[in-house]
Amino acid sequence: MNNFKYSIKLLRPKQWVKNLFVFGPIIFSNNLMNLELLKRNFITFISFCCISSAIYILNDIVDRESDKKHPIKCNRPIASGKISLLQASIVGILLCLISLSLAIIQDKFIFIIICLYVINNLAYSFKLKNIFLIDILSISLGFILRVLSGGISTTVQVSRWIILCTLFLSLFLGFGKRRNEIIVLGENASSHRQNLSQYTENLLDKFITITLTCTIMSYSIYCILGSYNDNFIWTSIFIIFGVLRYYYLMYSKEVGGNPAEIVLKDKQLFNCILLWGFTCIAILSI
């Protein structure tokens, strides 16, 4: 039973929240009630859940030694020795095969996006995560690929403003994560990851403020210029509250290391996202 528990933990199911970006295009295009497109979108979502879990397993294998020195990451299944490297490798390979199979059955372009996602994450795991700024841009690319795959699976052309909004939001979350790592690790930050010596708390504070502002502005401009319904501007209220709530939690509670966990744990943030989704659907249904 314990082995099964740690096997599930290895997949990091809480992180699947990030894959909900796949549903962005079907919501914004008012096709959520189209069952055929929704089915295709859901399969794409499952494909990303499988491949993202496979990538997390790879990261845990690569980072197992540095994770042992981290006060929180040392409890991960591989770093703690609860799951062997062989077991983790088998699970990761199976998940990768399932993901690629689901993608190729759907559309060759979704398959290509999944492959690009894998390539980007392999580059991140072995090289990019140690390069200042490039590490965060690599993470952001993963979110953009999710949105693009959602557009392809629903035959919707993704707005350039939504791509920009996704970019800035993911940068905002990424810089917040680095800030949390520096605070938690303190003097040991650079030994955990090389490029953390180049990030300073003061610099990250400025990056976070810039990307937060750009997130709100790009989404607001999308509502005015790129949406199918003029009333969509009202949904910006939830975006503003959501990012400011996250900003508040980041600075008052010193969190930010795990965005998915924060969304699931903070009731105000979670309810804000739900209300945003329901409001989007209600406005587009009018």
Instruction: Please give the pLDDT value at position 188.
Output: 67
> Measured on CA atoms in the order 259, 261, 262, 268, is the torsion positive or negative?
positive
Residue ranges with strand state E in the chain: none
Q: What is the pTM of this model?
A: 0.89
**Axis crossing angle, helix 108-126 with helix 85-106, rounded to the nearest 10:** 150
> How is residue 131 annotated by DSSP?
S
> Measured on CA atoms in the order 274, 277, 283, 286, is the torsion positive or negative?
negative
Domain limits of the chain? 8-158, 159-286
Instruction: Please give the pLDDT value at position 244.
Output: 95
Helix (H, G, I), strand (E, B) or coil at 284: helix
Instruction: Please give the pLDDT value at position 193.
Output: 67
Instruction: Please give the pLDDT value at position 211.
Output: 97
The fold for domain 8-158 equals Tetracycline Repressor; domain 2 (1.10.357)
Instruction: Please give the pLDDT value at position 234.
Output: 92
Q: In whole angstroms, what is the distance from residue 212 CA to residue 53 CA?
A: 28
Instruction: Please give the pLDDT value at position 176.
Output: 92
Instruction: Please give the pLDDT value at position 21.
Output: 92
Among 195, 168, 58, residue whose Cα is nearest residue 118: 58
Instruction: Please give the pLDDT value at position 136.
Output: 94
Instruction: Please give the pLDDT value at position 142.
Output: 94
* pLDDT tens for each residue of the chain, 286 residues long: 566 787 888 889 888 999 999 998 888 877 878 888 999 999 999 999 999 999 999 888 888 887 787 777 788 888 888 888 898 899 999 999 999 999 998 889 999 999 999 999 999 988 888 889 999 999 999 999 999 999 998 888 888 888 999 999 999 999 999 898 888 877 666 666 667 778 888 999 999 999 999 999 999 998 888 777 788 899 999 999 999 999 999 988 777 678 888 888 899 999 999 999 889 888 877 7
